[in-house]
Amino acid sequence: MPRELRRLPANHAAAALVLPLLLLAVRAPLRTSARPAPGPDYLRRGWLRLLAEGEGCAPCRPEECAAPRGCLAGRVLDACGCCWECANLEGQLCDLDPSAHFYGHCGEQLECQLDSGSDLSPGEVPEPLCVCSSQRPLCGSDGRTYAQICRLQEVARARPDANLTVVHPGPCESEPQIVSQPHDVWNVTGQDVIFGCEVFAYPMASIEWRKDGLDIQLPGDDPHISVQFRGGPQRFEVTGWLQIQAVRPSDEGTYRCLARNALGQAEASATLTVLTPDQLNSTGIPQLRSWNMIPEEEVDSEENEDYY
């Protein structure tokens, strides 16, 4: 035993022997079976990918590879270039460096780009996301217009029996389809009322408003009724509004949204019920407010669909 350790008490000598062992344990590399540190879900997925792959690649035996299923963005080779795995979808995190394999690689027709959107907070670092290489709409063999090729490919892989293909670039020609129809409304005299109507069509549709029982197109010459139109919210859509200011009992009735293009027309209607203050008081409603009878499923619906 070294002279220095012989001079130490027994407990100090034991500590001197244990300390080097602790340092070796701290410096030893983590085993690949260790659990990843807590963090966002996408970081855990990345660490789990690294832990599953280990530090190196074993000899490639393709017959031992599990066949990936449900790959809506197609398949890519794993980090070892041996087995196929599902590629990342549009909007998922990806590896900007092709040689890296932390988040994974984008699928067919997708590119890994830094998200430079305007919704980034000050000081926030943009993340690498899979972005479709084309943003041009196209017509599918199912008669639907898709925002871009990546959306069509996702639907085609999700429903392989449909044999979905591209018919031609650009939207499918279609007669008007009312995406969001006006809803029944009640209000008290003197209040304002607005009806809305969203229409998809290609070629773009024109919208007009009419009231049942009248042969004129609104607003006519009535100064307390006005209409407005604008394109959107999605491509190849147009939205029209009918506003009635300071409603009167004579405004009560059914209003129709009519959409037309060269291929056809579509319409939707809604009813306006007007109450006088005396009628409102007799109903026992404690607080005056307008009521739009909007179905609950429409409030929770997604704005962005795979097709228009």
298, pLDDT greater than 60: no
Q: Which range among 53-62, 98-107, 200-209 shows the weakest confidence by mean pLDDT?
A: 53-62
Instruction: Tell how strand 264-275 and strand 185-188 pair up.
Output: parallel
Q: Are 105 and 76 in contact (CB under 8 A)?
A: yes
Q: Which parts of the chain fold into alpha helices (H)? A: 3-7, 10-27, 41-53, 149-158, 277-283, 296-299
Place of tokens 């009628």: 279
Cα–Cα dist 8/93, whole Å:
58
Residue 110 CA to residue 90 CA, distance in Å, equals 7
Three-state DSSP state, 274: strand
Residue 110 structure tokens: 């997708």
Taking every pair of Cα atoms in the chain, the longest distance, rounded to a whole number of angstroms, is 114
Instruction: Quickly state the pLDDT bin for 118 (edges 50, 70, 90).
Output: low
The predicted pLDDT at position 33 comes to 36
d(CA 89, CA 46) in angstroms, rounded, equals 15
Average pLDDT over residues 220-248: 93
Between 281 and 292, the more confident residue is 281
Yes or no: say if 142 and 164 are a contact pair by the CB < 8 Å rule: yes
Share above pLDDT 90 across residues of the chain, in percent, rounded to a whole number: 55
In the block, tokens 């830094």 appear at 114
CA distance 48 to 36: 7
Nearest alpha carbon to residue 180 among 281, 273, 299: 299
Q: State the chain's mean pLDDT as an integer.
A: 80
Residues 6+ apart with CB under 8 A from 290: 185, 186, 187, 191, 193
Answer for the pair 284, 301: CB distance below 8 angstroms, yes or no: no
Q: For residue 54, name the pLDDT band (cuts at 50, 70, 90).
A: low
Question: β-strands 237-244, 166-169: how paired?
Answer: unpaired
Tokens 């892989």 label which residue? Answer: 157
- 109 pLDDT tier (thresholds 50, 70, 90): very high
Q: Name, in order, each residue with C-beta under 8 angstroms of 246's C-beta and a sequence gap of 6 or more.
A: 189, 190, 191, 192, 224
Any idea which residue has 């100064």 for tokens? 223
Q: How far apart are CA 307 and CA 269, in angstroms?
A: 25
What pLDDT score was predicted for residue 214?
87
How long a stretch of residues is the chain?
Answer: 308
Q: Tens of pLDDT along 20-50?
A: 444 444 344 333 334 344 444 545 555 555 5
Contact between 261 and 204 (Cβ < 8 Å): yes
What is the rounded average pLDDT of the residues 178-194?
Answer: 94
Residue 300 has pLDDT above 50, yes or no: no
| Beta pairing class for 166-169 and 75-77 | unpaired
Distance of CA 176 to the CA centre of its chain: 24
pLDDT band at 86 (very low <50, low <70, confident <90, very high): very high
pLDDT at position 242 is: 97
